[in-house]
Amino acid sequence: MTGLIDTGGQSLHDWLIDEDIKSRRQALAQRWYFGLRHLLSSPIAVLGLVIVVALVLAAAFAPLLATHNPYRQDLGRALLAPSSAHWMGTDELGRDVWSRLVYGSRTTLYITMLVTVLVAPVGFLIGALAGFIGGWLDTVLMRLTDIFLAFPSLVLALAFSAALGPGIENAVLAIALTIWPPVARLARAETLTVRNSDYVASARLQGASTLRILWRHLVPVCLPSIIVRLTLNMASVILTAAGLGFLGLGAQPPLAEWGAMAAAGRQYLIDAWWLTTFPGLAILLVSMAFNLLGDGLRDMLDPRKG
């Protein structure tokens, strides 16, 4: 292990807990190390982390894990019950459910990542600008946020994806449009507490521009709570994506997507329970994992807990 990082002759653990910090890299590594140790001290958060990591691994190594081609139809082998050949059975078109589930993790991951990447900066920027600049801008942006918040997210996502047309990219966009308001609110609240702090006043006195204050001073303060919030929201992103898929507005066939898979299996619920059960369990498990991880991250990152 020591070979990977230059620790100046110390063992890695000593290097990570040494109070006499000798480089920026060590300072950062120590932060991560203590954070990770804190996270790992909670068994529930570890459980969440393990499942999320498993999801990522499944998506990365889908071709290795899948026992069959997830898109190959074989009507002669339709609706087979779980067996040693087909661990989770086959669907109405004779496709292997396990393989589709594994490939479906890619879709799930794709949607959650894309939503995060879209929502985090947009939500932060809207909230931070509203909070930092205040005045009419605050009023306008926050009323806009309220309007979006007023609708149930599934209904809103439904309306957007119906307007944008079916397809996974449009589903992502629709979900992103429903997820940003709470993030913006959060960013605004954090900004308001920091805006009048002495360190921001000091940066202003030194002549820092608004952009610099947003980026250098507000982002590091807001980021942890936004990450926690988004992680907790992942469950609802996954559920909304599954819901849209279920209603035929998300991923389009033949793409493997858990919600769509569950929807397709609905007609055969009595005869072929495995069609809905396994995708449903996967959705449940991953949503729960994100929630548990989010809780753990909150404990770890919450600045109010020192």
Partner 1 sequence: MIEIDNLRVFYGAGSDRFEAVRGVTLSIRRGETYGLVGESGSGKSSVLNAIAGRHTDWTGHIRINASSVGPARRSRAEKAMLQIVFQDPYGAIHPKHTVGASIAEPLEIHRRPDREKAVERLLERVGLPPQFRYRFPHQISGGQRQRVSIARALALEAPILLLDEPTSALDVSVQSEVLNLLQDLKEERDLTYLMVSHDMAVVAHMCDRIGVMQGGDLIEEASREQLISGNLEQPYSQELREAALGLA
Verify binding: residue 225, partner 1, rule CB under 8 A.
no
Burial class (CB in 10 A: 0-12, 13-18, 19+), 130: buried
Residue 204 in contact with residue 213, Cβ under 8 Å?
A: yes
Beta bridge partners of 90: 96
Instruction: Provide the token pair at 251.
Output: 């991923």
Scanning the chain, the segments in alpha helix (DSSP H) are: 12-17, 24-40, 43-60, 62-65, 97-133, 135-150, 153-164, 168-195, 198-205, 210-212, 219-246, 258-265, 274-301
Contact between 217 and partner 1 by CB under 8 A: the answer reads: yes
Q: Between 90 and 191, name the residue whose CB sits nearer to partner 1.
A: 191
Q: How far apart are CA 32 and CA 69, in angstroms?
A: 40
Choose, by CB under 8 A, the member of 221, 241, 242, 286 that binds partner 1: 221
Are the CB atoms for 244 and 259 separated by under 8 Å? yes
- 2 touches partner 1 (CB under 8 A): no
Question: Min. distance of Cβ 297 from partner 1 in angstroms?
Answer: 16
Residue 106 interacts with partner 1 (CB under 8 A)?
no
Query: Contact region for partner 1 (CB under 8 A) — 168-176, 177-185, 208-216, 270-278?
Result: 208-216
Q: Which of 32, 61, 199, 215 binds partner 1 (CB under 8 A)?
A: 199
Query: Is residue 213 within 8 Å of residue 195, measured between CB atoms?
Result: no
20 binds partner 1 (CB under 8 A): yes
Q: In angstroms, give the least distance from the CB of 20 to partner 1.
A: 6
Which residue in the set 198, 270, 271, 305 belongs to the binding site for partner 1 (CB under 8 A)? 198
Under the binding rule (CB under 8 A), the answer on residue 24 touching partner 1 is yes
Answer for which of 41, 139, 197, 210 binds partner 1 (CB under 8 A) is 197
Contact between 207 and partner 1 by CB under 8 A: the answer reads: yes
Q: Residues near 254 by Cβ (< 8 Å), separated by ≥ 6?
A: 71
Assign 96 to helix, strand or coil: strand
Task: Tell me: does residue 211 bind partner 1 (CB under 8 A).
Answer: no
- Burial track 184-196 (b if 16+ CB lie within 10 A, e otherwise): bbbbbebbbebbe
**19 makes contact with partner 1 (CB under 8 A):** yes
Using CB under 8 A, which of the segments 24-32, 57-65, 78-86, 143-151 binds partner 1? 24-32
Interaction of residue 27 with partner 1, rule CB under 8 A? yes
> Exactly one of 37, 72, 216, 266 binds partner 1 (CB under 8 A); which one?
216
Contact footprint for partner 1 (CB under 8 A)? 19-24, 26-27, 31, 197-199, 201-208, 212, 216-217, 220-221, 303, 306
